[in-house]
Structure 1
Amino acid sequence: MKFQSHRNITYNCQYHVVWCVKYRKKLLEGEIETRLKQIVLEVAEELQVEIVEMETDQDHIHLLIKCDPQFGIHKIVKRMKGRSSRLLRAEFKILRTRLPSLWTNSYFVSTVGGAPLAVIKQYMKDQQKV
């Protein structure tokens, strides 16, 4: 497991993030999909975030992100959704005419990696015995 250090923190934080096209419209194909991935990578580079994996389906995007927990995953998602919506809607007329906004307001995020929960719980219980 590779840890990263930044100022006063050492960490290995990975997040699985998913967000969907408004009304689950199947629009993430071809040039739109390609451009979306470019935008997400540009934002990640600006924010010094590592995209470990990125995949799209026609109506949603999955990301595996490694980032500094002090910055906050919510800020990263907000920036990625905001910029991609603005740029994609400006570049592709179909996204302006078929939807009031590109993305739903919500998203899914879950931490991943590290030890399984059962192992961490057992470790914590074992500390009480010492």
Structure 2
Amino acid sequence: MSVTLRSNSNVVFQCAFHVVWCSKYRRRVLGGLVEERLKQLIGEVVEEKGAWLVGLEVMPDQVHLLVEVDPQYGVHKLVKAVKGRTSRVLREEFPSLRSRLPTLWTNSYFVATTGGAPLAAVDEYVAQQKGR
């Protein structure tokens, strides 16, 4: 499997991350129409920020995101943008979320580089998490 190298004006890179975050209080609110809209919003934000969405799986109380990010932009800025936009928009569009939660997401998140693992293998792992 070949490695896809990306570049900007200063850097050639291959920086892939597995990011996981949970709904506040681990409430199981991310199903149905909320899940569909969440996936759409995440795709929009990732594209706007110049990152590349490799894999995405939404479970009732957590999100697994596999993404490639320009190291000069940084994964933290991307996660902050994704969580901020999705919380604001979903709570506006689905009033039941406002009444159940003070905020949609916890403050924390997990992030790991995919290291030497092929992206296809990590993507398969992320996809399998929904069945657990």
The TM-score bracket by the shorter chain reads 0.7 to 0.9
Q: What letter matches 1:40 in structure 2? A: I
Match of 2:83 among 81, 84, 95: 81
- Across the aligned residues of Structure 1 and Structure 2, the Cα RMSD in angstroms comes to 1.3
Kindly tell me the number of residue pairs found equivalent between the two proteins: 116
Partner of 2:105: 103
Gaps of 5+ in 2: 118-132
C-alpha distance after superposition, 1:88-111 (max 9, x if no partner): 000001100000110000000000
Report the Cα offset of residue 114 of structure 1: 2.8
Mapped to 2, the partners of 1:55 and 1:14 lie a distance apart of 16
SS in structure 2 opposite 1:68?
coil
| Identical aligned residues as a percent | 54
Mapped to 1, the partners of 2:37 and 2:115 lie a distance apart of 29
Mapped to 1, the partners of 2:42 and 2:51 lie a distance apart of 10
After TM superposition, list the pairs within 5 Å mapping 1:1-130 onto structure 2. 1-114=3-116
Mapped to 1, the partners of 2:29 and 2:97 lie a distance apart of 8
Report the Cα offset of residue 48 of structure 1: 1.2
Gaps of 5+ in 1: 116-130
Q: What letter matches 1:13 in structure 2? A: C
Mapped to 1, the partners of 2:53 and 2:115 lie a distance apart of 15
Q: What letter matches 2:75 in structure 1? A: I
TM-score by length of 2: 0.85
